[in-house]
Amino acid sequence: MNPFAYERATDPADAVARHGGDPDVAYVDGGSNLLDHLKLGIRTPSRLVDVGHLGLDEITPTQDGGLRIGTNVRNSDLAAHPAIRRDHPLVARALLAGASGQLRHQASTGGNLLQRTRCVYFQDLTTPCNKREPGTGCSADHDEARTRENAVLGTSEHCVAVHPGDLAVALRALDAVVVVRGTGGERRVPIGELHRLPGDRPDLDTTLEHGDLITAVELAPPTPGAVATYVKVRDRASYAFALVSVAAELVTDGETISHLRLAWGGVAHAPWRPTGVETALVGGPVDTDAVLAACEEELGQARTWPGNAFKVPLLARTTAHAIEQLATRPAGAAA
């Protein structure tokens, strides 16, 4: 592993100042994803700035009745927090579907949102990868490649990798806001504007500037009468990334859907918000055929390979299952 210097920041302003936007510097908190990349040689920073001791490890109510989650809050603590389980069970369910108990104890809220793809070609330095080295090509974009994990939505000729996280999918469904500290001060970024589709710059995972620091995530007040779930389909029951996942929040007035938020994981370079499905279903009954038809319309833009064509029907059926499951659950059911 490449040698590097280590510094510990004391507060957000100190962290940003120590980083300074230097392309050869990286932040580290829980660090499980970054340390993998250091060992593999994907990242070779000369200096790490530790942001795990900034004191941003609390979950506090906001004035409007929402919640503010500090960037240093561990995934295990966030999933178990009474206010999260009561008001935003979707977040708890998504976190508990991710990784292992040991990694959830280590992973932080801010770091979780910034984890990079687990595409096998991105992690293999012997193969071309536009995300790792722009302009070298995409080794996953042909039928003879390992395409099982490829994205099916929002891909480009430059990259077909997927965002690997679960928390970001749940937060996308809830329209969370990410609080960011940079050299110009603090700003708030809607979660839907945080992650990027690959386009012609797949090396950029987010819209953040190098040196920006996530300091918190803010959730709006809970939706009255809502029930929510996170359904993750994977190859094994734990420590596996999603083939497809569905975050869903639903309100019905008996038989009619009056409120629906959805987000899809495992299928794009960023958590995917199927707004067309939401629009098509709100105001109508909870009907499996209607859900499948709406998903088919949304997935009409999907691009598949022989190894991952199964994702399209699987995603539609998983979405229908999630909505059917919620329609029979009483409001306020615990996560």
In tens, the pLDDT along 127-149 reads: 999 999 999 999 999 999 999 99
Model pLDDT, residue 118: 94
Model pLDDT, residue 313: 98
pLDDT (tens digit, 9 = 90+) per residue, 176-193? 999 999 999 999 999 999
Q: Would you call 178 helix, strand, or coil by DSSP? A: strand
Model pLDDT, residue 162: 98
**Confidence category of residue 31, pLDDT binned at 50, 70, 90:** confident
**Confidence category of residue 301, pLDDT binned at 50, 70, 90:** very high
Mean pLDDT of 316-320: 98
Model pLDDT, residue 333: 56
Separation CA 160–CA 138 (nearest Å): 8
Mean pLDDT of 6-29: 97
pLDDT (tens digit, 9 = 90+) per residue, 81-97? 999 999 999 999 999 99
Question: Sheet holding 244-252: strands in order across?
Answer: 227-233, 244-252, 257-265
Closest CA to 172 of 226, 227, 247: 247
Beta bridge partners of 69: 59, 217
Model pLDDT, residue 1: 74
Model pLDDT, residue 332: 58
pLDDT surpassing 90 at residue 2: no
Q: Would you call 113 helix, strand, or coil by DSSP? A: helix
Separation CA 54–CA 21 (nearest Å): 19
Beta bridge partners of 249: 228, 261
pLDDT surpassing 70 at residue 334: no
Angle separating helix axes 311-327 and 288-298, nearest 10 degrees? 140
pLDDT surpassing 90 at residue 32: no
pLDDT surpassing 90 at residue 325: yes
Model pLDDT, residue 112: 96
Q: Would you call 165 helix, strand, or coil by DSSP? A: coil
